[in-house]
């Protein structure tokens, strides 16, 4: 059976007619997905353990970009709120600006600095707010756990601030859930129902972070180097986040030690779905209250801490952070999902977002959405281009050539039809950037 035939006919029909693409493009996208699947199978046959979640962003989301690129003007209207910027929170929005709209009782104590401050000033603010180590520091603008560090001492804070970019916003936060007897982190996706206007939970995942088991002899760094079930890139990400004190500490025999500062897929975190029906739940009502200050918000994800699944369901949580348009439901990273299931979930999610965006666009045109200036199609294309260039730069900078080889192998099998994926009204700058993305290795 061809891979395309494994997708639900109704979903294929939605993609064909709601995405405004040709049958040929649909066929080519499914051909691309089949090549990704074949590549994963080949690597696993060779004894490696690699899943869709372990692939780089550009490989994972190429089919989504292909289907929805011509609807890029709708990016404006997914979350048409000034608090998340002109691209609905897809790229480069301030976490502080978004968080300031939420009821603060759901947050741990947090300090925000519009640009890098001296360690002395930061310590003074911590003392004023009765904040003690350990704390978490992160950039105000960022994603995929980049720059997130657990800071346990003044010396670690000095090292972090020294490396932190000038004129960039900094967030310092006490650990979420410190008042709970046990801390478990969850990723909860919310999407506004376009018919009723009510927020619904579409995904809730427990984040199982990597940990090592001490033997009383080896240090954390050596234990991480032998940690099973993660890729080399994830291993490098984990090690780069740790301080020298953490790296070279030796856990006692039998001691279990979490080795990540942020529960992210890029750090080897495993997603496990919460087996509960959340419709009408206290959690759903609580998150609707959190979002009540954002009248035109349609979709995002909350990273939450609760003591248990039951406490989460009952709405007893603290917020680590809220994420806007770029956030996707974390259940697509489950390792027990087939690649067909992953893309079915992704396509369904983005079709739901498109429906919300269309309704918001109509409301804007009727004058019902105020204080919002949408970006032009050209501006959106340029912002997406810059984002892809950053991805390309990161792509080339990987410590090994393995990821590049993967993408090149998929690309080679797609030739000579690869540009068929990008036909019709594609912005000239975007096409140029995508050309560089494909051809940097030549």
pLDDT at 427: 35
CA angle 102, 148, 220 (to 5 degrees): 140
Show the 3-state SS of 357-398: HHHHHHHHHCCCCCCCCCCCHHHHHHHHHHHHHHHHHHHHCC
Which structural domains are found in the chain, ordered by start?
A: 109-173 (3.30.1490.20), 211-259 (no CATH)
| 277 vs 129: CA distance, rounded Å | 39
| DSSP-assigned letter for residue 172 | E
Identify whether the C-beta of residue 352 lies closer than 8 Å to the C-beta of residue 396: no
Residue 373, φ and ψ in degrees, nearest 5: -120, 105
**367-375: long-range contacts (C-beta < 8 A, 24 or more apart)?**
369/80, 369/296, 371/82, 372/80, 372/81, 372/82, 372/296, 373/86, 374/73, 374/76, 374/77, 374/80, 374/86, 375/75, 375/76, 375/86, 375/87
User: What pLDDT is recorded for position 317?
Assistant: 96
In the chain, the percentage of residues whose pLDDT exceeds 90 is 39
CA 39 – CA 32 distance, rounded (Å)? 11
Mean pLDDT for each consecutive 10-residue tract of the chain (442 residues)? 59 63 75 81 79 80 80 86 77 84 91 91 94 92 78 92 88 87 92 83 96 95 91 86 90 93 90 94 95 89 95 96 88 93 91 90 91 78 63 44 48 43 37 38 28
Q: What is the pLDDT of residue 15?
A: 67
The tens digit of pLDDT for each residue in 82-92 reads 888 767 777 77
**pTM score of the predicted model:** 0.83
Given this model, what pLDDT does residue 86 score? 67
The predicted structure's pLDDT at residue 20: 63
The pLDDT tens digits of the residues spanning 272-322 come to 999 999 999 999 999 999 999 888 899 999 999 999 999 999 999 999 999
Look-up: residue for tokens 């019902």?
A: 368
Distance between CA atoms of residues 300 and 99, nearest Å: 13
């Amino acid at each position: 059976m061809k891979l395309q035939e494994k997708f639900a006919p109704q979903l294929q029909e939605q993609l064909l007619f709601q995405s405004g693409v040709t049958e040929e493009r649909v066929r080519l996208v499914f051909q691309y997905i089949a090549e990704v699947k074949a590549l994963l199978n080949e690597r696993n046959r060779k004894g490696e353990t690699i899943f869709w979640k372990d692939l780089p962003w550009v490989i994972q989301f190429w089919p989504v970009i292909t289907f929805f690129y011509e609807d890029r003007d709708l990016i404006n209207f997914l979350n048409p709120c000034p608090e998340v910027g002109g691209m609905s929170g897809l790229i480069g929005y301030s976490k502080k600006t978004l968080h300031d709209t939420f009821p603060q009782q759901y947050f741990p104590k947090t300090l925000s600095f519009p640009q890098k401050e001296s360690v002395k000033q930061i310590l003074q603010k911590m003392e004023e707010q009765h904040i003690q180590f350990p704390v978490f520091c992160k950039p105000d603008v960022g994603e995929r756990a980049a720059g997130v560090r657990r800071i346990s001492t003044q010396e670690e804070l000095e090292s972090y601030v020294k490396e932190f970019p000038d004129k960039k916003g900094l967030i310092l936060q006490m650990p979420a859930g410190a008042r709970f007897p046990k801390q478990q982190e969850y990723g909860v996706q919310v999407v506004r129902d376009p018919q009723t206007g009510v927020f619904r939970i579409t995904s809730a995942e427990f984040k199982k972070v990597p940990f090592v088991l001490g033997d009383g002899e080896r240090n954390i760094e050596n234990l991480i180097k032998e940690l099973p079930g993660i890729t080399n890139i994830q291993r490098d990400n984990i090690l780069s986040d740790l301080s020298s004190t953490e790296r070279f500490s030796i856990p006692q025999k039998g001691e279990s030690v979490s080795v990540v500062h942020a529960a992210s897929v890029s750090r080897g975190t495993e997603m496990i779905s919460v087996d509960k029906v959340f419709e009408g739940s206290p959690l759903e009502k609580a998150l609707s209250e959190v979002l009540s200050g954002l009248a035109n918000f349609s979709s995002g994800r909350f990273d939450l801490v609760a003591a248990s699944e039951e406490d989460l369901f009952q709405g007893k949580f603290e917020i680590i952070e809220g994420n806007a348009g770029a956030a996707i439901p974390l259940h697509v990273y489950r390792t027990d999902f087939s690649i067909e299931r992953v893309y079915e979930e992704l396509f369904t999610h983005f079709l739901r977002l498109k429906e919300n965006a269309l309704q918001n666009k109509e409301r804007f045109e009727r004058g019902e959405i105020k204080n919002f200036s949408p970006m032009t199609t050209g501006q959106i294309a340029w912002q997406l281009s810059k984002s892809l260039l950053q991805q390309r730069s990161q792509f080339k900078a990987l410590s090994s050539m393995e990821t590049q080889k993967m993408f090149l192998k998929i690309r080679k099998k797609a030739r000579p039809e690869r540009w068929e994926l990008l036909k019709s009204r594609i912005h000239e700058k975007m096409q140029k950037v995508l050309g560089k993305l494909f051809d940097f290795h030549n």
